[in-house]
Amino acid sequence: MITIETPIGPFSMTGNGFAVTQARFGNPDLPDGEVPEQAVKALHAYFDGDFHALDSVPVQQSGTPYLEHCWDVLRTLTEPITYTEFAHITGKPHAVRAAAQGCARNLIALFVPCHRVLRTDGTLGGYRWGLDIKRALLEHERLIVAGTR
């Protein structure tokens, strides 16, 4: 387990030597585990302005087949989308609540970017690590895409 100071606050992660298995902002109370060095480097690169730095870092978390599919789909998002759009791209367009659970049950912040999913009206919705963190992450990414970070 490691905790790294970021511009948004302390970020802790744990792993199994190959993949990140949990990651979060705030409370560093995570199981002990070996974090891949690639994850640490990628986290620094992301906050230095490399939008895609986290994409290739292996992650591993367990859930139902649909939740695991949701987490895989989240890793493909390159811009904010709505929960409705998220449900559609998971292949279950009428299962918006189930897709939202994919975000709510995600234990790997940033590497599985559930912060990129918004309510239909464009508001933030929920975020396990707080709306201020979600807002800051979206702003950070907006600045990267705009070329100002």
DSSP the chain: -EEEEETTEEEEEEEBSSSEEEEEES-------BPPHHHHHHHHHHHTT-TTTTTTS-B-----HHHHHHHHHHTT--S-EEHHHHHHHTT-TT-HHHHHHHHHT--BTTTS-GGGEE-TTS-----TT-HHHHHHHHHHHHHHHHT--
Q: Mark whether 114 is an active-site residue.
A: yes
Indicate which residue of 23, 112, 114, 137 is catalytic.
114
Residues taking part in catalysis: 114
